[in-house]
C-alpha cells in the first residue's frame, strides 16, 4: 500500500446481514403501505401481514404460522416456535432476505418483494423448510417432520428437513417439487416446478444429488442419485439426469446428455434457459 490510508470500512458479516434484513423490511413496509394507498380493500390484509409487525422476523413468523397451523400445532404455538428459531439463529432471516431478493430480481412477472412474501408458495415453503431444518439439527425431529408434512399438504412442495439448502434460492411456482434427505442445493440456484432431486431407489446413505452454485433446473426435470450438478450448469425441462453434469454445461434429454457450448455465467441468477448452439447439436 502507499502512504495513503484506505477509506474502505469492512463490516463484520453479522452487521452486513443485519443491514440487509433491515433494508428489506423497510422496502416491504413501503410496498405494503403503497398497496393500501392504491386499494383500501387491502388495509386489513396488509396490516395483518406486514404493517402491524415490528420486524421482518415477526412478520415472517406470523405469515408462516398462518399458512402452516393445524389442530395439532396451532397458530400461536407455531408463531412462538418460528420466532424462537429466528432468535436462536438470525442467519435464517438473512437467508430469507436473500431468497426474497432473488425472486424479485429473477422473476420477470414481479418487481416487488411484497408479492412473493405474501403470495408465492415457493418462497413460503423454503422458509418453512429452513425452520424444519433448524429443528432437525437441534434434535427435534418429530416436530421437523410435522412442519415438512404441513408444507407438503398445504403448498405441494416436499423438502426433507435434513437436506441442505443455501441462500438466494428461487423455487419458481414450486408445485410438485421433491428434495430428498441427503440432497445439497447451494447458493443462487433456481428451480422450476415439478422437479425431483431424488434417489435411485436402490441406494442407502448419501443418495441424493449435490447441486452446486448458480445452477438452473428446468420444469419437470428429475435428477437421481448421489451425483454432482456442477457450478453454473443448466438442466433442461423434462430431462432425467442420472450421471454427473460438468460445471457450466447444459444437459437435456432422457437420459440427459451434454448439449450446446460451455458458458461462463450462473444461469440460476441470469435465468438464461438457452440450451444449445446448432453446431453442437447431437
Which residues of the chain fall below pLDDT 50?
1-6, 11, 277-282
Q: In Å, how far from its chain's centre is CA 106?
A: 12
The domain over range 9-157 is classified in CATH as 2.30.40.10:
no
Contact present, 121 and 193 (Cβ < 8 Å) = no
CATH 2.160.10.10 segments of the chain: 163-282
At 21, list the grid cell: 434484513
CATH 1.10.3130.10 segments of the chain: 9-157
Q: What is the pLDDT of residues 30-63, one digit of tens each?
A: 999 999 999 999 999 999 999 999 999 999 999 9
Contact present, 208 and 191 (Cβ < 8 Å) = no
- What homologous superfamily does CATH list for 163-282? Hexapeptide repeat proteins (2.160.10.10)
Query: Residue 2: what pLDDT?
Result: 45
pTM of the complete model: 0.91
With 0-12 / 13-18 / 19 or more C-beta atoms within 10 angstroms meaning exposed / middle / buried, residue 214 is buried
Amino acid at each position: 500500500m502507499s502512504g495513503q490510508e484506505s477509506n474502505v470500512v469492512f463490516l463484520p458479516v453479522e452487521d452486513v446481514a443485519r443491514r440487509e434484513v433491515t433494508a428489506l423490511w423497510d422496502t416491504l413496509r413501503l410496498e405494503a403501505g403503497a398497496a393500501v394507498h392504491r386499494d383500501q380493500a387491502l388495509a386489513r390484509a396488509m396490516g395483518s401481514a406486514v404493517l402491524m409487525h415490528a420486524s421482518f422476523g415477526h412478520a415472517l413468523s406470523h405469515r408462516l404460522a398462518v399458512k402452516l397451523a393445524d389442530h395439532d400445532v396451532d397458530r400461536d404455538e407455531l408463531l412462538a416456535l418460528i420466532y424462537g428459531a429466528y432468535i436462536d439463529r438470525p442467519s435464517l432471516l438473512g437467508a430469507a432476505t436473500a431468497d426474497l431478493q432473488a425472486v424479485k430480481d429473477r422473476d420477470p412477472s414481479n418487481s416487488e418483494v411484497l408479492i412473493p412474501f405474501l403470495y408465492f408458495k415457493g418462497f413460503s415453503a423454503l422458509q418453512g423448510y429452513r425452520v424444519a431444518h433448524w429443528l432437525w439439527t437441534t434434535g427435534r425431529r418429530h416436530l421437523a417432520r410435522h412442519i415438512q408434512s404441513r408444507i407438503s399438504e398445504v403448498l405441494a412442495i416436499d423438502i426433507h428437513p435434513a437436506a441442505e439448502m443455501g441462500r438466494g434460492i428461487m423455487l419458481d411456482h414450486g408445485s410438485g417439487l421433491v428434495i430428498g434427505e441427503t440432497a445439497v442445493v447451494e447458493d443462487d440456484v433456481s428451480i422450476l416446478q415439478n422437479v425431483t432431486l431424488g434417489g435411485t431407489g436402490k441406494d442407502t446413505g448419501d443418495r441424493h444429488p449435490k447441486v452446486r452454485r448458480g445452477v438452473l433446473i428446468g420444469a419437470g426435470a428429475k435428477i437421481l442419485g448421489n451425483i454432482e450438478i456442477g457450478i453454473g450448469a443448466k438442466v433442461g425441462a423434462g430431462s432425467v439426469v442420472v450421471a454427473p453434469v460438468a460445471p457450466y454445461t447444459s444437459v437435456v434429454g432422457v437420459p440427459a446428455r451434454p448439449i450446446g457450448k460451455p458458458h461462463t455465467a450462473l444461469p440460476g441468477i441470469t435465468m438464461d434457459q438457452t440450451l444449445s448452439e446448432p453446431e453442437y447439436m447431437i
